[in-house]
Structure 1
């Protein structure tokens, strides 16, 4: 009996207590684990909800921006297609500038205690201002566009005296014909202090040094440079391209060593060169179409003048290009097949002043003068001068209707 009690107290009871304690701990940790799981699930759901909201916001922002971009693209397309883009943009600018008035108007109209009368007055003021602002902006944009195309206009906008003098001209063509364009290259101080000869020469120098020239001016200068080089070699040269412009049929220069006009009768053998001058950017190769045109216009020239050109006269097509201009591979093949000569001629300085005799009057033209391209140097006593002093020393005066005040 005593032994049994000993076992009970030494073994059974401690084991039972240990098991009970373990069971209690098990249930405690089970409950805690359940709480942890619930907390995890709750936080996971919160994170998922937050993430979904952020994703939805990103998608919404994206759609809003995409819509705005599409709307902006439609506006730009409308502007491009619009026959009145300046008016269209001016109306948008006026809308933007009157937006705050519209906002205040809506506040007065829809606040808890509306001020309808004040809102209506503000609406009328806004619409009147918007209309006037739209007209103002339209003219402002048109003026800025014109100034961008013709920057010399700034000289008149910034000088009230010169602007008022425009009223002396009866029309725009009269303004173009009679306005002294040498003034575009001179300051007011230079214009007022230099002699007429000095300012004409200075204007010419600055025109020659001018870096930004139109493609027409670059092409014209290169043609004149090539013509000068040929004259130095004894050729008679007709400036067909400059004189006839787009009606030159691709014949920029017609060069010959005959003494008489190339359209006269020839009783000796000789050569006529039909020349096209191309001063193209080195990154833009000359295509075969240029060679085809040159060949075609040479054939046309032969047909047009077959009755007045002797059988012994050889007509040769030539393409003159500077060393930095290149031909495409196909163009090279065409030149070879069509027997077109390629002459590399770099730009050389040449006399720019045309000294022309018109109805007995000796007049000279500077490159920026109105009739410069139309003036032809063919008759006896006419020549090209390097300087204003050279032209005036031989009795030539600049042909202009305006005064040099």
Structure 2
């Protein structure tokens, strides 16, 4: 019995060994049969991976080259766009085309991506066309502004930096431009204007005018010119305001201050501290000083030598003065020194009395009238021509001295 059990066990072991051997031989034959295919697939995978790496490197190189080209194109476009010329509207169109191409790429992407966004792509197309027109118009306007600023440096002072800035523009036919309208109303509510006594409402309007932080460059420049004019009045000069009164026709001279045998041609610039005065402004002041000399100091208006003009400058008979709240560039200082232009820099706007108390003579005697900064004749009113005229800080001060408000108010 034990023998039979041992025999059966041996039979099972032998059968297992034979089955294992047969299976191993079969697998070996399959391996030998499939190995060439496996090797072929392995080689194909290596080839494919190598091609992918090569394509990635090539694509990366193309992207870098494209980005460099785009950056160079942008630099060239910006460089060209800075040319101070208004005669190249085609340049504006090219500029617009360039940025339209970028929008084309966005449009194509939205249409061809895995889940296309056709509506968004169509909206991009519409916006692209509108943007192209606006970009073109914007560049043309920029060229013109840059061109005119190059010719007339003072134009930069009239360009608003903030859309809320008050600009010195009047619309013809506007009912608010009635010649006798009281501009004090612009600084008071209707209730305040009706209820307050004249002294109080005029003073309140003046206070709000002075505290207004949203003045345009033009208004700030006007205040600065009045301040500089007041300072020179205190020094005994008679003052003629050219910038305030003549506007675009001032030829770059804001104030003419006179004493016997001395004329100061003053240009005023009330700019932010981060800005610098450049040499073009010095050249403009020097040129307008020479023009004044030709018109006022040369007999029969016959041109004389530059040496004679230089003599007037050196003897201080004619003094070009640049008065500014900021600083000049080194080149501007160098040119000012060479051209005998006096520099007064870093001179901020200070406090000074704004109310002009003027005495007029008429057929009935003398009229004592005071003018607020928003009144019609304020800029043209010169103080100091008659005894008793003065600048007042407050309305009460003016009225206590016997002066009344001007009847015609419009600025």
Distance 1:341 1:73 in 2: 53
SS in 2 for 1:348: coil
Query: Which of 284, 288, 309 pairs up with 2:275?
Result: 284
Residues 73/329 of structure 1: CA separation in 2 closer, same or farther (3 Å cut): farther
Does residue 1:293 correspond to 2:284, yes or no?
yes
Q: Deviation at 1:185? A: 1.8
CA deviations on 1:298-355 (whole Å, 9 max, x unpaired) are: 1111111124799776211110112xx1112221221121121111333222221233
Superposition CA RMSD, Å: 4.2
Question: Equivalents in 2 of 1:346, 1:291: separation in Å?
Answer: 19
Match of 1:73?
128
1:221 pairs, out of 204, 220, 223, with 223
CA deviation digits over 1:20-48, x for unaligned, max 9? Answer: 266569989x9xxx9xxxxxxxxxxxxxx
Do the aligned residues in 2 keep the contact of 1:251 with 1:276 (CA within 8 Å)? yes
Matched, 1:20 2:19: yes
- The aligned counterpart of 1:369 is 375
| Corresponding residue of 2:192 | 190
Residue 389 of structure 1 and its aligned partner are, at CA, apart by 2.2
Compare relative contact order (CA 8 Å, sep 6+) and give the higher one, 1 or 2.
2
- Alpha-carbon spacing, 1:76–1:149, altered in 2? closer, same or farther (3 Å): farther
Deviation at 1:225, TM superposition (A): 0.8
How far apart, in 2, do the equivalents of 1:150 and 1:228 lie? 25
Distance 2:176 2:8 in 1: 133
> In the alignment, what sits opposite 1:327?
328
Q: Which has the larger radius of gyration?
A: 1
Name the CA shift for 1:248/1:58 in 2 (closer, same or farther; >3 Å): same
Matches within 5 A, 1:255-404: 255-258=257-260, 270-307=261-298, 314-322=317-325, 325-344=326-345, 345-357=347-359, 360=362, 361-377=367-383, 379-381=385-387, 382-400=389-407
> Aligned pairs, how many?
281
Structure 1 pair 220–150 and aligned structure 2 pair: CA distance change class (3 A): closer
Q: Deviations over 1:105-137 (max 9, x none)?
A: xxxxxxxxxxxxxxxxxxxxxxxxxxxxxxxxx
C-alpha distance in structure 2 between counterparts of 1:233 and 1:148, whole Å: 38
Deviation sequence 1:212-245 (CA, Å, 0-9, x none): 1111110111111111112222222222221212
Q: Distance in 2 between matches of 1:306 and 1:379?
A: 24
Cα 1:62–1:25, aligned 2, differ >3 Å: closer, same or farther? farther
The runs of 5 or more residues in structure 2 that have no matched partner are 35-109, 138-162, 300-308
Distance 1:61 1:339, change over 3 A: farther
Q: Post-superposition shift, 1:67?
A: 5.4
User: Structure 1, residues 255-282: CA drift from partner, whole Å, max 9, x if none?
Assistant: 2322xxxxxxxxxxx3321111111112
User: CA 1:383/1:243 → structure 2, altered by over 3 Å: closer, same or farther?
Assistant: farther
Whole-Å Cα distance in 2 between the matches of residues 69 and 234 of structure 1?
67
What are the within-5 Å matches in structure 2 for residues 20-169 of structure 1?
Answer: 20=19, 58-61=113-116, 65=120, 68-78=123-133
In 2 relative to 1, CA 56–225 (structure 1 residues): closer, same or farther, beyond 3 Å?
closer
Distance change >3 Å, CA 27–CA 207, structure 1 → 2:
farther
TM-score by length of 2: 0.57
TM-score by length of 1: 0.58
**Matches of 1:59 and 1:287 in 2, distance apart?**
56
* Structure-2 change in CA distance of 1:56 and 1:353 (3 Å): closer
Question: What CA distance in whole angstroms lies between the structure 2 residues aligned with 1:242 and 1:26?
Answer: 110
The DSSP-based 3-state class of the residue aligned with 1:346 is: coil
In structure 1, the gaps of 5 or more residues are 35-54, 83-146, 152-169, 259-269
Take 1:307 and 1:334, find their aligned partners in 2: how far apart are those partners? 25
Shift of 1:190: 2.6
Distance of aligned partners of 1:8 and 1:191 in 2 relative to their CA distance in 1, 3 Å threshold: same
Structure 1 residue 362 displacement after superposition:
3.9
**Partner of 1:254: helix, strand, or coil?**
strand
In structure 1, the residue matched to 2:50 is none
The corresponding residue for 1:102 is: none
Query: Does the Cα contact within 8 Å between 2:225 and 2:254 map onto a contact in 1?
Result: yes
CA offsets per residue over residues 336-385 of structure 1, 9 Å max, x none? 21121111333222221233455634433211223433434464254433
Partner of 2:239: 237
